Amino acid sequence: MGLHKFCRELPKLELHAHLNGSLSRSTMLQLQRCLADNGMADTSNAFLDEFQIGAGDTRNLADCFQVFNIAHALTSTKETLAKATASTLKEFEDDGCCYIELRSTPRQTPHMTISEYIETIVQTMLNTTDMSIISCLIVSINRSSSQRDADIIADYAIEYHAKYPDIVVGIELSGNPAIGNFKDFVPPLTRARNAGLKITLHCGEICNPQEVIEMLNFKPERIGHGVCIHPRFGGIDAAWELLCKSQIPVEICLTSNVNTKSTPDYNCHHFNELYNANVPIVLCTDDKGVFATSLSQEYQICAETFGIEQSKLARLSLSACNYIFAVEKRKMLMDKLLNFINKKEL
């Protein structure tokens, strides 16, 4: 079977996708129309064009954090946030994704409270009975936020995990890695962990070996990116050895790292180092709207760049089942993958 078709058909798990970075152009237009119908649209198409950071774009990782304001302007009401969530889930499903842990930073807007933000996403996920994709929410803390605001987000995550344990499954730390200190977020993350939430941390997205070691010693269930951990990419031996020993799974975002210039090109991506060292990895999209990609495209790029054959790609997806936060869904997803592998004789 052709690689493109195979990557689309392969049942895939998305474990690192930011809601407001995942909006496609058609979803954004839909949200814009919805706001306009309510007399609230103040956005133009030129404004939407700024949203995409494609290959060769001159913007870097630091600039990239500006573009999220565009999506945030569109998801500021309960109605558009619900539509954004539903459309994004549908797009992942259409791309052959069978399970997603969507993440988002709850925020207060002129039209909703933090609590309503979370409730809106949760209710949309509960109402996707017409879809076969299984969806969960990871609550994000932005590392640019104050300790007080991080505490508030953690409290809501704990409250909503207690209310909807099958939907609100984790908490994560993201945002501009050049701002803030991991240490300041340890107390709220620890409280969330003690309440039963699983943890994933953006780790080593820029060079900061001390922070990488602090993060790995915190023993999150997963980390995101892990670009600057191997000494070849600005990391230090102690951090790399700690990662190899701890076997903490890494959410890999190939196109995101290339388009933000965290990695010069696909060929020098640290996928190789992680894969060869047997560190668990999961292929993810990060921000499929901003970086114009899809999960099947990330599998295809991985296969083409690193020569990973179809049977190994399928096993990458199978192994992702081990690292999901909704533990009770693991067996069902593994059965689905094993079925696919047997049927295709891989």
Residues at the site binding ligand 6MZ, with contacts judged by CB under 6 A: 18-21, 64, 68, 104-105, 140, 142, 174-175, 202, 205, 256, 260, 286-287
For the CB of residue 287, give the shortest distance to ligand 6MZ in the complex, in Å.
5
Q: Is 91 a catalytic residue?
A: no
> Which of residues 8 and 293 has its CB atom nearest to ligand 6MZ in the complex?
293
> Which of residues 69 and 311 has its CB atom nearest to ligand 6MZ in the complex?
69
> Which of residues 16 and 230 has its CB atom nearest to ligand 6MZ in the complex?
16
Catalytic pick among 101, 172, 205, 251: 205
For the CB of residue 312, give the shortest distance to ligand 6MZ in the complex, in Å.
26
For the CB of residue 75, give the shortest distance to ligand 6MZ in the complex, in Å.
8
For the CB of residue 64, give the shortest distance to ligand 6MZ in the complex, in Å.
5
> Which of residues 293 and 296 has its CB atom nearest to ligand 6MZ in the complex?
293
For the record, the structure tokens of 173 come out as: 């730390």
> Which of residues 69 and 210 has its CB atom nearest to ligand 6MZ in the complex?
69
For the CB of residue 256, give the shortest distance to ligand 6MZ in the complex, in Å.
5
Helix (H), strand (E), coil (C) string for the chain: CCHHHHHHHCCEEEEEEEHHHCCCHHHHHHHHHHHHHCCCCCCCHHHHHCCCCCCCCCCCHHHHCCCHHHHHHHCCCHHHHHHHHHHHHHHHHHCCEEEEEEEECCCCECCECHHHHHHHHHHHHHCCCCCCCEEEEEEEEECCCCHHHHHHHHHHHHHHHHHCCCCEEEEEEECCCCCCCHHHHHHHHHHHHHCCCEEEEEECCCCCHHHHHHHHHCCCCEEEECCCCCHHHCCCHHHHHHHHHHCCCEEECHHHHHHCCCCCCHHHCCHHHHHHCCCCEEECCECCCCCCCCHHHHHHHHHHHHCCCHHHHHHHHHHHHHHCCCHHHHHHHHHHHHHHHHHCCC
Q: Which residues are catalytic?
A: 205
